Amino acid sequence: MLFMSSIWEEIRFKVIRSGSNVNKLIGINIAVYLALGLIYVFETLITKQTVFHDKLYDNLALPAYLPNILPKFWTVFTYMFMHNIELSFGAVLRFVFNMLWFFWIGQIFEEYLGAKKLLSIYLFGGLFGAAFFILGYNLFPAFTELKLHDVAIGAPACVMAVIVGTATLLPDYTIFMMFIGAVRLKWIALVYVILDILFLMGPNSGNILAHLGGALLGFVYIRQLQHGNDWGAAMAKIFKRRSKLKVAAKNGTKITNTKPRQDEIDRILDKISQTGYESLSKQEKETLFRASNDDKS
């Protein structure tokens, strides 16, 4: 009992109290995946059918056919936390690797731009992926028959937005991959996008369309941010915690707000995109660090 309590406390700290939206979003995805998987297993054991599981699946996955979307408008949000429950090792590996990539790249994104912008690009990536999926299936003749029964599920559109967004912000940021070595983020993002385009006419066309939509959103989101247009500002206000304390720093007789100005942050982000993070001065790095901490609070 003590062992289980210790595990639960550690999970609660990592997911809820860490202040990281990467951990929270991964926690939600894992919770939904396990819930649907357990429902599928126990319903099959008891009734030899999966009626309840299939009903949940139908009401959470995003349909491609327009007349089916309107009665289930919430699926443009719920689909991005859904994952296909298949009794195969390959399906489990796909889910695990999606979450691992989100964890690795999401931490980099969160370090530079903060938790609130991470949440914004994740949700916007999912919504833009949904739009790509719906438009693609209803505009291209190749998908005329598929749109009647195909659905989109999964977080990869959101993860693609984060990967491409991080690569757009920090194209020369290097990570080390097993058996490959040092690889820059821009090459990882490019390979992902090219593979999605090549597999577009395969058996998973709908989800790949959503991936491409998420990738495009990630690129545009960061480019707009670098030009001073923060698409996530309205969303940040919704999730902003109201504080009664105002922190100010006293410099001689002049009192100044410790929060960096938005135009200063935009200038630093533009400098990163042009010459890389290492070109920043110590003061600029401290300014970006303070802005990131303010987003995490």
Residue-wise pLDDT for 43-73, tens only, equals 999 998 888 988 988 899 999 988 888 899 9
User: With 90 as the cut, is the pLDDT of residue 161 above it?
Assistant: yes
Backbone torsion region of residue 228, taken as left when φ is above 0, otherwise alpha when ψ lies between -120 and 50, otherwise beta: left
Query: What is the pLDDT, as a whole number, of residue 203?
Result: 80
User: Mean pLDDT of all residues in the chain?
Assistant: 81
pLDDT tens digit string along 3-42? Answer: 555 555 565 555 665 678 899 999 999 999 999 889 988 9
Query: What is the pLDDT, as a whole number, of residue 259?
Result: 63
User: With 60 as the cut, is the pLDDT of residue 113 above it?
Assistant: yes
Residue 149's nearest CA partner among 61, 72, 209 is: 61
Region 266-290: mean pLDDT is 73
Tell me: domain 12-226, CATH 3.10.129.10, correct? no
**How far is it between the farthest Cα atoms of the chain?**
76
For 165, the 3-state DSSP assignment is helix
- Residue 144 in tokens: 């005329």
Backbone torsion region of residue 267, taken as left when φ is above 0, otherwise alpha when ψ lies between -120 and 50, otherwise beta: alpha
Query: What is the pLDDT, as a whole number, of residue 295?
Result: 57
Spatial neighbors of 25 by CB under 8 A, at least 6 apart, are 102, 106, 119, 122, 155, 158
Region 220-229: mean pLDDT is 90
Rounded CA separation 20/4 (Å): 23
Angle at 216 between CA 215 and CA 218, to 5 degrees: 65
User: With 80 as the cut, is the pLDDT of residue 85 above it?
Assistant: no
User: With 70 as the cut, is the pLDDT of residue 178 above it?
Assistant: yes
User: With 60 as the cut, is the pLDDT of residue 245 above it?
Assistant: no
Residue 40's nearest CA partner among 7, 79, 8, 85 is: 85
Start-end ranges of CATH 1.20.1540.10 in the chain?
12-226
